[in-house]
Structure 1
Amino acid sequence: MKKVIIACTILLMITACNAKPVIEQEQDQSQEATIGQEETVEEKTLLDKYKKIQPLIVKTEVEEEILENVYEWKINRPQFDGIDQKNTLELIRKKVNKDIDGYIERMGHMKVLEEGEERLSPYSFFIEPDIETNENGIFSIGLGIYEYSGGAHGNYWKQFYSFDLLEGKEIELKDFFKEDVDYLELIYKNIFDQIKENEAWTRNLQEYYYKDKVEPIFFIQDGKIKIYFAAYGLGSYAEGEQIFEIPMEVVEEKLSEFGKVVYSIYIN
């Protein structure tokens, strides 16, 4: 009988020893699953934070002057409101209005008709805002600017501003990418690929932008980075402006957490 009891005791001890690693393994797997769930929740929470931000309310205040045969002047100045973050509103207003005021000062000469001066056509200056993105905590706006002060034709270009309404800051191109990513190399290589059939554009991109790694003008539209070149930027005046979309498959592995949010908004 004693031998039976001793044998049973030994068997129980062996079973207990074997069971301990299994329990620990199950606990480890449970902890790993919990960590994975927390990471998923955190990622979704960041996206949700952006999606909960209310869009800006944007109206325009028109400043218009016309002096027959001398000049035409129309500024549609955007007015920003609609969110509680007053510092962010002030940042946007200050940034955009400073540039508009700068253009007004530079173009003020066209309102002055010199003694004996005759103009075949009135000089013109127009500014028209165009909202590219205004949802999910991302605000991107362009100012369309047209100026004519004599000659064969006027000049037209756009200036863009993009803001992160959650963080209350202006967005820079580098913000979309991880810190160790050469984002200018990535972007320019993709544009080269898009224009490879056009020798003139390729040559101009190499000479005037890529060679010195010039920071290109960008805006955000449909949850993607768009790169902008004004007329004469890559081609002739007749060819006009050029806009290049940087697709998800090009940047997917290189995006920062913010970049993932922007590119994910129109997917989720």
Structure 2
Amino acid sequence: MRKQILSALGLSLALLAGCANAAPSGPTSAPADESFGAMGAASVLSSASETLDFVLESEKKSDTRVAEDGTTLAAYNYEIPVLRVMTEDGQIMDSAATAAQKAAVDVAAAFNSNFEDWLKSTDFSSVLDRAEEDYARRMESNADWFYEEDFTYTSWRTDRLISIGGAYYSFTGGAHPNSVFLGWNFDLQTGRFLHPTALGEDSEKFQAAVAEEIIRQADARAAENGFESPTDMYWEDYQGIAAQWPDYAVTFSDDGMMVVFSAYGMASYAAGEQAFVLDWDFLKPYLSEDGRLLLNISADTEAAAKTTP
């Protein structure tokens, strides 16, 4: 039987990612490269008098609750992406004085509000309070108690697209920790989060083609691992799950597009998360002209993205 083990925070993250893919005003998809922290800037807004850049920074949030006897009861560490507007001389802009500056500030605000809203929804202080109460009870039965949550991200970008891969981790002292992978794809020109299929010339055809390729890779992976049937490795309805890939973690990297199904998404915890990479050669025939512009590729060239060093 399929299991879904997510804390309240993990569930809110998963829902947040789903909204991202479905609604431009929300967030959007699995880890891309291994780059953390500040992201290289690219000029995407310019006028006759000024050029403005965007730069991605990391904002860290953390807290810890310690019992009276010094035992660490609970802790969380979040690394949240924050989009900044940078002037041509390298200064971070806090306020807008021109129309171009206001447009850039509005784009950054649309990106940042997604993660700000999520932070407001994560009531970790109540988790810390419960940890203290649970610790007192567990001490009576000599049981251990520790709760930990972490959120980190990776990033990849072109002149127009920022692709964020989020990794949420939680551990409550059970048999194993839980991990959830998330993704967001943001158009710097429109200031909106993208549904992955919006990149396709024909969104339905694009979704179906990607699903077929994911199933092909999944079948090959099951065979490589010695399973007689793919359903010995994956859930019985794994093909139907693959068809809904835009609802899972979708990001882009130098290798192409990655779709990640977190543990329990397509298979058991023992099978782990299932990541599928669709390279540029596969993607290019299905992309719209605007999709190629977003990804900074042409129909006959490789992607020319800017990855954080």
Are residues 1:144 and 2:167 paired?
A: yes
Q: Kindly state the Cα deviation for residue 58 of structure 1 after the two structures are TM-superposed.
A: 1.0
Opposite residue 84 of structure 2, the aligned amino acid is D
Identity of aligned pairs, percent?
A: 16
2:257 corresponds to: 225
In 1, Cα distance between equivalents of 2:271 and 2:205: 30
C-alpha distance 207-255 of structure 1, shift in aligned 2 (>3 A): closer
Alignment check: 8 A CA contact 1:107 1:125 kept:
no
Are residues 1:97 and 2:121 paired?
A: no
Are residues 1:174 and 2:197 paired?
A: yes
Q: Deviations over 1:26-80 (max 9, x none)?
A: xxxxxxxxxxxxxxxxxxxxxxxxx743442313233232422421222233332
Structure with higher Rg: it is 1
Matched pairs, number: 216
In 2, Cα distance between equivalents of 1:180 and 1:79: 30
In 1, Cα distance between equivalents of 2:259 and 2:107: 25
**Which of the residues 104, 129, 137 maps onto 1:117?**
137
In 2, Cα distance between equivalents of 1:62 and 1:213: 30
* TM-score, normalised via structure 2 length: 0.61
1:3 corresponds to: none
Q: Specify which structure has the bigger relative contact order, considering alpha-carbon pairs within 8 angstroms and separated by 6 or more residues.
A: 2
In 1, Cα distance between equivalents of 2:296 and 2:64: 42
2:83 corresponds to: 80
C-alpha distance 124-215 of structure 1, shift in aligned 2 (>3 A): closer
2:91 corresponds to: none
Alignment check: 8 A CA contact 1:224 1:263 kept:
no
In 2, Cα distance between equivalents of 1:213 and 1:134: 21
Across the aligned residues of Structure 1 and Structure 2, the Cα RMSD in angstroms comes to 2.8
Opposite residue 264 of structure 1, the aligned amino acid is I
Secondary structure, aligned partner of 1:109: helix
Are residues 1:239 and 2:271 paired?
A: yes
Q: Kindly state the Cα deviation for residue 157 of structure 1 after the two structures are TM-superposed.
A: 1.2
In 2, Cα distance between equivalents of 1:66 and 1:133: 34
* TM-score, normalised via structure 1 length: 0.69
Alignment check: 8 A CA contact 2:182 2:248 kept:
no
In 1, Cα distance between equivalents of 2:73 and 2:58: 29
Q: Kindly state the Cα deviation for residue 153 of structure 1 after the two structures are TM-superposed.
A: 1.4
Unaligned segments of structure 2, at least 5 residues: 1-41, 45-52, 87-100, 223-229, 305-309
Are residues 1:201 and 2:221 paired?
A: no
In 2, Cα distance between equivalents of 1:202 and 1:263: 36
Unaligned segments of structure 1, at least 5 residues: 1-50
In 1, Cα distance between equivalents of 2:197 and 2:246: 13
In 2, Cα distance between equivalents of 1:223 and 1:164: 20
Q: Kindly state the Cα deviation for residue 263 of structure 1 after the two structures are TM-superposed.
A: 5.8
Alignment check: 8 A CA contact 2:171 2:178 kept:
yes
